[in-house]
Amino acid sequence: MAKLTLDRILQSQGFGTRKHCRELVRAGEVRVHGETIADAAASFDADGLHFEVFGETWTFRRHLYLALDKPANYECSRKPSHHPGVLTLLPEQFAWRDVQPIGRLDHDTTGLLLLSDDGAFIHAQSSPRRHVPKIYVATTHAPVTAELVAHLEAGVQLHDEPAPLAGKARQLGEHAIELVLEEGKYHQVKRMLAAAGNHCVALRRVAIGGLTLEGLGLGEGEWCYLDEEALGLLAERGS
């Protein structure tokens, strides 16, 4: 990648307009290689560049690939209407970079959510042709039974779907069931449980492909960057 001026580097990383980024430099708020830079037109090799803004260290990234353990009562929308948006859980400059959630979790559903500012990646991850399994853990109102598991695996008919929907199911506890789905229908887990005669009282997504919350070590409300190894797990079928 060709060298970029410092103001362009800062702008590309979400620190504001070029004018604002120049002001940050002039104010002495930007350091590169441990040195305060006074010239916003100074150029640097951007790839992998470490720099500081307001004393916090950042690494230049051409695109952002993020995982978030979404808490309840947050909306997966850039323009939330009834609850805070998930972007409020991330550094402010990520919103300037047009980071957006990939797919949606209901406001009361928790768990693994991917976000990015890479349009091609977002499109690829959102494609219904990928058939990458997503693993959910549901807490149910009525006890989980062998009949419920069998019913979900055989398929349940939803009123607005042309064919029954099925998923791999496994009982985890008296009121807990794991469901593995490859589709992304609206409220699918909740509607499937209702169609099978039970009711979902809490829902958590724990994995996408081979990428798991447990493997990432995230707690609710926490986020992390995804490296190449983690991104590769998204294509795996999981366990």
Q: Cα separation of 65 and 68, whole Å?
A: 10
Quick one: DSSP state of residue 86?
A: G
Q: Cα separation of 97 and 94, whole Å?
A: 5
| Beta strands 109-116 and 200-208, pairing class | parallel
pLDDT in tens, 83-140: 899 999 999 999 999 999 998 898 999 999 999 999 999 998 888 777 889 999 999 9
| Beta strands 134-140 and 176-181, pairing class | antiparallel
pLDDT of residue 226: 97
Tell me the torsion sign for CA atoms 105, 166, 207, 209.
Answer: negative
pLDDT of residue 239: 45
Q: What is the pTM of this model?
A: 0.91
Domains and CATH numbers, the chain: 3-59 (3.10.290.10), 65-129+210-233 (3.30.70.580), 134-208 (3.30.70.1560)
At 8, which amino acid appears? R
- Percent pLDDT > 90 in the chain is 79
**Hunting for tokens 């979902």 — which residue is that?**
200
pLDDT in tens, 143-164: 999 999 999 999 988 888 888 8
Q: Which residue of the set 106, 108, 160, 227 is catalytic? A: 106
3-state secondary structure of 78: coil
Range of lowest pLDDT (116-120, 130-134, 168-172, 173-177): 130-134
Q: What is the largest CA-CA distance in the chain?
A: 70
Verify whether residue 106 is a known catalytic residue: yes
Q: Cα separation of 47 and 33, whole Å?
A: 14
